[in-house]
Structures are given as structure tokens and as C-alpha cells.
């Protein structure tokens, strides 16, 4: 398998943390590529020109990150990162959706602040996306007890999203007023899988 990768993409990081946690990392070739420049090799595999994209040994391709994570979780014999059924399954899927939504909002803020010409900056949009992130963080703070002692796709996605907020600073210091979430993140961040996938400064 080959993973089209970027060092700063949090969606890619979610996949690579899962690869480390499941022991699959050594079975995947990692190739760094810039989706934004629409390289032909990537657009041929994924018309959206986005990373992560996973190329299977038979040439089939998979995207986006939730689909790749679900596929990879069926490729190992260890503890499942996505519980198969029931309340635990839906909790993990919901957490992933919330964490990915935080990332989507943070990336839109990054684009607005650093890619759009300053004269065209849309403050209404920035505020809307920041409120979405803050509400999501507040709900995670309220539910932080439910994150403890868990390593699955839900907690991986949340830890990666919080670390991305540190990297890009979309909402300033997210830890303020959220001590339970901050404490949980600090512990999760010490996992070897998180350390091995830390983006370059």
C-alpha cells in the first residue's frame, strides 16, 4: 500500500497515528506530495487532488481519511480502532466527525487569513468558523471524562485536531477554560504514535 502524504496535513496525521497504533506502519510506503499543486499522479488517483489518498496493491485508490481509516482498521488483527457495532461505534464515528469538522473550520480560517488577499478578508466568515470550533471544544470539555483511557479512531481524531489548533492557532489558546480537555490532550500527546507524527515546526 502507498499513502500519499503531507507532513502538515492533520487528516494525513490521523491516518498515520492509526497506522502506528495498529502496527501497520511498516506495511505502507509513504510518499509526500502537495495536493494544492494538482500533480498529475495525484489527480489521476483522486480527482479531488487531496491527501491523504491510499493506493492499494491492486491499483485501486481510497479517500478520504475516514474511508482510509476504516479500510486500514480491517487490515490488522489487533484491537479495533473502530468498534464494530453499538453505542461505542456511533460514539467513535461522531467524535471523528466533530474532530474533522474542527479541522475543516480551522483550515478555512487559515486560508482566509494567509491565502486570501488581506483586502478581501471576510470577518463574518472567520467569526462563524471560530464559533463552530469554540462550541465543539466546549462540548469536548464537557465530555472529556469519556475520552480517558481510550485509544480508538475517535480519540485519535480529537487529539490530532487539538494539535492542529496548536500548529495553526485558528482560535488562539484553546486550553483556556478547558482544563479537562487540556489535561487529556497532554497525556494523549505523549503516546509514541503522536510523537512519531509530530509535524515539523
Ligand X SMILES: N[C@@H](CCC(=O)N[C@@H](CS)C(=O)NCC(=O)O)C(=O)O
Which residues of this protein are in contact with ligand X, per CB under 6 A?
6, 9, 11, 35-36, 49-52, 63-65, 100
**Residue 144 or 170 with smaller CB distance to ligand X:** 170
The β-bridge partners of 30 are: 3
Containing H/E element for 13? helix 10-22
**Residue 113 or 182 with smaller CB distance to ligand X:** 113
**Residue 132 beta carbon to ligand X: minimum distance, rounded to whole angstroms:** 16
**Residue 113 beta carbon to ligand X: minimum distance, rounded to whole angstroms:** 15
**Residue 43 beta carbon to ligand X: minimum distance, rounded to whole angstroms:** 10
Q: Which of 51, 140, 53 is nearest to 96 (CA)?
A: 140
Q: Which of 13, 21, 25 is nearest to 160 (CA)?
A: 13
**Residue 53 beta carbon to ligand X: minimum distance, rounded to whole angstroms:** 8
**Residue 6 or 178 with smaller CB distance to ligand X:** 6
**Residue 54 or 144 with smaller CB distance to ligand X:** 54
Give dist(CA 195, CA 55) in Å, integer: 25
Q: Do 153 and 69 contact (CB within 8 A), yes or no?
A: yes
Amino acid at each position: 500500500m502507498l499513502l500519499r502524504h503531507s507532513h502538515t496535513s492533520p487528516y494525513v496525521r490521523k491516518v498515520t497515528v492509526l497506522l502506528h497504533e495498529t502496527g501497520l506502519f511498516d506495511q505502507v510506503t509513504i510518499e509526500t506530495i502537495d495536493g494544492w499543486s494538482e500533480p498529475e499522479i495525484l489527480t489521476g488517483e483522486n480527482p479531488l487532488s487531496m491527501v491523504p489518498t491510499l493506493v492499494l496493491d491492486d491499483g485501486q485508490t481510497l479517500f478520504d481519511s475516514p474511508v482510509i481509516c476504516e479500510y486500514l482498521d480491517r487490515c490488522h488483527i489487533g484491537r479495533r480502532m473502530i468498534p464494530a457495532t453499538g453505542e461505542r461505534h456511533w460514539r467513535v464515528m461522531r467524535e471523528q466527525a466533530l474532530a474533522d469538522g474542527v479541522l475543516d473550520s480551522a483550515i478555512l480560517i487559515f486560508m482566509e487569513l494567509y491565502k486570501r488577499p488581506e483586502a478581501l478578508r471576510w470577518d463574518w466568515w472567520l467569526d462563524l468558523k471560530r464559533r463552530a470550533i469554540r462550541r465543539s471544544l466546549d462540548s469536548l470539555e464537557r465530555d472529556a471524562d469519556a475520552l480517558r483511557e481510550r485509544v480508538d479512531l475517535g480519540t485519535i481524531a480529537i487529539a490530532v485536531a487539538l494539535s492542529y489548533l496548536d500548529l495553526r492557532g485558528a482560535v488562539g489558546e484553546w486550553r483556556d477554560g478547558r482544563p479537562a480537555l487540556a489535561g487529556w490532550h497532554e497525556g494523549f500527546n505523549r503516546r509514541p504514535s503522536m510523537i512519531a507524527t509530530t509535524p515539523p515546526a
